[in-house]
Amino acid sequence: METNEHRTLTESLTSCYSDWVHDALDDIPDAFLITDPAIPGHPIVFASRGFLAMSGYASAEVLGRNARIFQGPGTSRRSVMEIREAIREERTLQISLLNYRRDGSPHWILFHLCPVFAPGDGHRHVAHFLSVQVPIPKRSRRTLVVSTTCRDALRMDADLGPDLAVDDSGLEVEEWREAGEREKEKAASVAGEIVSALARYGKLASRKRTGVVLPPLSSALNISLGRIKQSFVLTDPHLPDMPIVYASDGFSSLTGYSRHEVLGRNCRFLNGPGTDTKVLNLIRDNIKAEKASAVRLLNYRKDGSPFWNLLHISPVRNASGKIAFYVGVQIDEGSKSDEHGLSPEMRQLGAVGQVKVAVRSLSSGVGSSRFSS
């Protein structure tokens, strides 16, 4: 494992939680994984003792890898799709799943997935996913897959070894096991225990995603963007939850947040009581339709003071003609024309233009290849 990658994985937890968090998690005996959706590939950043014992893997073998490595030929595609959907929608899910151990032997678990919100920003953005895994014991001898012989069924029931999951013709013969109430309650209570342990170690100001996790912008693009004085952010629609990948100095002056406090976060931390959800929905719909929005939105600075944000959001395309970012240019409704008579609205549209020109550059490094994976 490369050192950089290793550091990224370690910092995934320690940027949100104190350094003791690993020890605290090690004290919990149950089987669970913690994954980070903001790191490319959505890798495992923590695997519990209980999980390693159950699966037969060593910690170093699973850290940095996607949890799909535990799936195998007998794993239901439909269940996997359901998990993916829950991750996309950031919601809790309980589902029975056939996983495979390191030695290739299958085992049924109740897979309990839940989003874990970052402690630093009022629990508004999902920093991690937790998956608790509770083994499902055998209860019935129903064999759902019929294309098998009695001998195979008997062998399978005996649960003797890894080769028994698949019969001689390669067909799945593992019987479906449905989790009972006991497993469901167990999984939910373990998940609750872990989430509250994390909360105890949470840092108030999240240092998460300070450029380590985000794909860095090319220096050519950074330089071009650095010339633009307006308050603006670039968000990346290709990353989960459209995080901020660039924030201008003007943005820090306007909102009071420093660059490292906002990189990696969704813009919604500017919202607060009284922010019109209809306007937010309009923005979301326009982004879905790849259209620009110009709205007036009640936002809050870091110090809690509100301001009316005349926000202009526009898709920004790269040299290949593909949308690379959305730019959001903020103006405080109270701001006035500059000494030359250039109105705030003109400065705002000018900044949109400058960003579009800069990102369009063939040397900006904002190629389509970055998003092809």
CB of 227 to other proteins, least distance (A): 9
Query: In the range 226-285, which residues lie near other proteins by CB under 8 A?
Result: 229
Stretch that binds other proteins, among 48-56, 157-165, 274-282, 360-368 (CB under 8 A): 360-368
- Of 59 and 320, the one with the shorter C-beta distance to other proteins is 320
C-alpha distances in Å from residue 81, one per residue of 8, 62, 347: 27, 21, 46
| 8-state DSSP, 324 | E
Give the binding range for other proteins (CB under 8 A) out of 152-160, 163-171, 181-189, 309-317. Answer: 309-317
Binding region for other proteins (CB under 8 A) out of 45-53, 80-88, 146-154, 357-365: 357-365
Please identify which residue in 97, 314, 325, 328 interacts with other proteins, judged by CB under 8 A. 314
Residue whose C-alpha is closest to residue 365's, from 325, 306, 313, 311 = 325
| DSSP per-residue codes, 50-89 | HHHHHH---HHHHTTS-GGGG--TTS-HHHHHHHHHHHHH
State residue 172 phi and psi, 5-degree precision: -75, 135
Question: In whole angstroms, what is the distance from residue 97 CA to residue 76 CA?
Answer: 7
Structure tokens at 77: 């595609």
Query: What is the C-alpha separation between 337 and 235, in angstroms, rounded?
Result: 27
Q: In the complex with other proteins, which residue's Cβ is closer, 229 or 260? A: 229
Work out whether 292 is an interface residue with other proteins (CB under 8 A): yes
Query: Which of 105, 360, 370, 371 is close enough to bind other proteins by CB under 8 A?
Result: 360
Q: Which stretch binds other proteins (CB under 8 A): 99-107, 146-154, 263-271, 352-360?
A: 352-360
Task: Determine, following the binding rule CB under 8 A, whether residue 338 of this chain makes contact with other proteins.
Answer: yes
- The single-letter DSSP state of residue 168 is T
Instruction: Name the residues that contact other proteins, by CB under 8 A.
Output: 224, 229, 292, 314, 316-317, 319-321, 338, 340-343, 345-354, 356-364
